[in-house]
Chains A and B, each alone.
Chain A
Amino acid sequence: MKNSLNRNIPDFINGIGKTDPFTGAWNKLKKGWMDEVTISPPNKAKLPHQKKLTETLKEAIIKTSPKDGMTVSFHHHLRNGDYILVKAIEILAELGIKNITLASSSLNNSHTKLVKYIKDGTITKIWTSGIRGELGKAISEGIMENPVIIHSHGGRVRAIHTGKISIDLCIIAASSADEEGNANGAIGKSAFGSLGYARIDSRYSKQVIIVTDNLVEFPCFPLSIQQNFVDYVVKVDSIGDPTKIASGTTRITKSPMDLRIAKLAADVIENSGYFKNGFSFQVGAGGASLAVAKFIRKKMEDKEIKGSFLLGGVTSYGVDMLNEGLFKTIFDVQSFDAEVSSSLYNNKNHIEISASLYANPYNCGCMTNKLDIVVLGALEVDVDFNVNVITGSKGYLIGASGGHCDTASGAELTVVVCPSFRGRISTINKRVDTIVTPGESVDVVVTERGICVNPNKPELEQLLVNAGLNIRKIEDLQKEVENIVGVPNTIERTNKIVALIEYRDGTAIDVVRQLKPVE
């Protein structure tokens, strides 16, 4: 079966079941409610003054009576500094638990050891918004029997609400917690900021363990995670390495190329009609994307424009803009560097939000729906403006869906920034390897070689032309880049599906097939 983007999606995928093909970015939402049945959170009970503290993580896990086939969830707020996810899986493996479904809000380079536990059958299914490094490589090469399901941050909430991700055990690393399980990531030696992705898990998981390296006197405040959802609390020496949370992504780039792209993107924003008092704004944390904030900050100062709110993954750069009064509020679902944590703790206008409030398509007003402008990165874009942020030029899973399609869907103006080619590989292609974000929700693609406006936004194009910007057809740009770098060899794949890419509404927007072994 082909979905509306002409992607070949099987009706039924082994290990996943029947698929629901993508039909359009807003098609399913038009109805006003979700067809799938929502599940209730578990009803739990504790006796008065019953103790939750355990000596070790292993003891806590044993108390939850782990069993084969269980689903275990984690958050990725510690990014590459995470010590807890792998540790917990090691314990479950030691206990002989098999066929675990791993549901982590994302997976990264700190999770490479999971390859071992996939090989030995401890983990047999994965839900995640992203996969990188050796783990991504192994999965792309077909290490798993069942395909991984890649969801967006908003889509993950929907999957939990519908019970598609039915969490048996949720293990939440927190930089501070008390004996009852009130916890946050804003303070403590391993502070990492918002716990936005973990909130939904704590509410819907059958059992919840809080792991902290900073057990504080009751009550731990603020209550990012509330005690009424928590079963056990354990203190460990260290939950992770906060210096690796940033992963080098939060400094403003010095790359002339990224800065050039960012400047052009800022010019687009300035002349789009959305750059005005009260606008809301989100930028990614990577190279050109974050650099756009630098130019927008200057334009806001020059034109004396004050914004409403900053959204999403938050960097210290965003915090500076809040402190300078350029924006009234930050809604923070995920923090990208340690400095953000203190702002989250000390500034009442820096507000922690859950993934549901951030981006869940099935509620009455996620924040992405109120977003005016978002700037996003891309691994590649095609002439239909579809964006790939998950598979790299060699076909491996190296990225994350994250909030990409959520914010693109919600924002009035979605600007994708990317160089027109990287190394010798084109970024603007006739057809992307994998679609994560549908082109209909992308308004402008900005590269160093010009700006392309989606033909479905003629008024926007006219505004930008009137402002003297170099607007060109994406097909022309694609051809120019092809003339420079040529056409790369086709990525050879087998028929085996190694990942299903879910759109935020749960439909199948694309699949990733196994890479053919190199002979």
Chain B
Amino acid sequence: MRQKRRTMLYIPGNNPAMLIHGGTYGADSLLLDLEDSVALEQKDSARILVKNVLKNINFYGAEVCVRINHLDTPFGMEDLKEIIPLKPDAIRYPKTETIDDLKRLVTVMEEIEDQHNISHDEIKIHIMIETALGVQNVFEIAKLCHRLDAITIGGQDLTADMNIKSTKDGSGIDLARKMIVMAAKANKIDAIDTVFVDIDDEEGLRRETEKSKNLGFTGKAVINPRQIDIVHEVYTPTEQEIRKAYKIYKEFKIKKKEGIGVFAVDGKMVDAPVVARAKYTLQLAHINLQEI
């Protein structure tokens, strides 16, 4: 089963306490950040800190990604050189705008991996789309390489790039959200929604997460551990949904033996897409399909 990425917790790479405790909050994925949350004069110390954290700290099964600085900056290359040998689960690349951006990253990563005898499919790549140009090119970027495993929309940077206000309803980046989801889904990879910045507005976060889920995002980036449970609640199927999915999948297995592809459960038509959705729900609920 795919790695669940309902939540991706941003942890500033220059904050030892948050880095040490990052794995304890229950997020599916952790983003150790060397980019925007680290001031220019702290880039080196943050890199050293993240390196030591990767070596020594237990993340209790959470996926660990490191957001490096862009290769156009003086820090990106050094980030990759220092971080790749420690084999985080993924490298997240910011401000990806073109195919060439991603190609360049892959080339550099592979060179470093070769130096350290690391296979080219061990460390995944996540990209961030946070400019209008990136949104325009996302369909092409998304299908470039098999190592690309998730695309995240960077809402704050995107609104800045578009010179629009960041609003709570996200209307300005609505199209970008939909395009990124489509590009990710078309290539069977994850789409992660941008952060919700008002950490005290729990209901607002819940509403936005429900909207993200309905759009097709796999999960949502979070900036405070208090946001994790709310996002998980939205992305975790309810008991009723699990029961319904179980019933559909069980009936599907019976009908399949009989050679029937379309049938009805509780008076509603079930065909292949409905079965696929039921399978996904059961997987999210950690239910072994073989045992049904």
Q: List the interface of chain A (C-beta within 8 A of B).
A: 254, 256-257, 259-260, 263, 448-449, 470, 480, 483-484
Contact = CB atoms under 8 A, between A and B. Distances in A.
Given A480-B58, A483-B56, A257 B226 contact: no
Given A263-B229, A448-B21, A256 B224 contact: yes
Given A448-B21, A448-B24, A256 B56 contact: no
A260 B56 contact: no
B53 to A, nearest CB: 10
Given A263-B229, A448-B24, 4 more contacts: A259-B225, A260-B24, A260-B225, A449-B58
Interface of B: 20-21, 24-26, 56-58, 60, 224-226, 229
Nearest to A448: B24
A465 B162 CA distance: 51
A48 to B, nearest CB: 63
A298 B112 CA distance: 50
Contacts of B20: 484
A483 B225 CA distance: 24
A391 B44 CA distance: 39
Contacts of B24: 257, 260, 448-449
Given A254-B226, A484-B20, A260 B58 contact: no
Nearest to B20: A484
Contacts of A484: 20, 56-57
A391 to B, nearest CB: 24
A263 B26 CA distance: 11
Contact of A256 (B58, B60, B226): B226
A425 to B, nearest CB: 13
A61 B20 CA distance: 57
Contacts of B224: 256
Given A480-B58, A484-B57, A256 B229 contact: no
Contacts of B56: 483-484
A32 B25 CA distance: 46
Nearest to B225: A256
A260 B225 CA distance: 8
A260 B57 contact: no
Nearest to A447: B24
A256 B25 contact: yes
A257 B24 CA distance: 8
A257 B21 contact: yes
B26 to A, nearest CB: 7
B226 A259 contact: yes
A7 to B, nearest CB: 32
B79 to A, nearest CB: 24
Contacts of B226: 254, 256, 259
Nearest to A483: B56
A179 B237 CA distance: 65
Of A254, A260, A483, which is in contact with the most chain B CB atoms at under 10 Å from its CB?
A260
Nearest to A259: B226
14 contacts: A256-B25, A257-B225, A259-B225, A259-B226, A260-B24, A260-B225, A263-B229, A448-B21, A448-B25, A449-B58, A470-B60, A483-B56, A484-B56, A484-B57
A254 B199 CA distance: 10
A255 to B, nearest CB: 9
B4 to A, nearest CB: 15
Of A256, A263, A470, A480, which is in contact with the most chain B CB atoms at under 10 Å from its CB?
A256
Contacts of A449: 24, 58, 60
B61 to A, nearest CB: 9
B287 to A, nearest CB: 13
B128 to A, nearest CB: 24
10 closest cross-chain pairs (CB), A and B: A256-B225, A448-B24, A256-B226, A260-B25, A449-B24, A259-B226, A260-B24, A484-B20, A256-B25, A257-B21
Contacts of B225: 256-257, 259-260
A417 to B, nearest CB: 14
Nearest to B61: A470
Contacts of A256: 25, 224-226
Contacts of B26: 260
A256 B21 CA distance: 10
Contacts of A263: 229
A483 B58 CA distance: 11
A65 B57 CA distance: 65
B202 to A, nearest CB: 11
Of B25, B56, B57, which is in contact with the most chain A CB atoms at under 10 Å from its CB?
B25
A259 B26 CA distance: 12
A470 B23 CA distance: 13
A418 to B, nearest CB: 13
A470 B24 CA distance: 11
Nearest to A260: B25
Of B24, B58, B60, B229, which is in contact with the most chain A CB atoms at under 10 Å from its CB?
B24
Contacts of A254: 226
Contacts of A470: 60
Contacts of A259: 225-226
A260 B9 CA distance: 14
Contacts of B229: 263
Nearest to B227: A256
Nearest to A423: B17
A448 B58 CA distance: 12
A257 B225 CA distance: 8
A476 to B, nearest CB: 11
B69 to A, nearest CB: 27
A480 B58 CA distance: 9
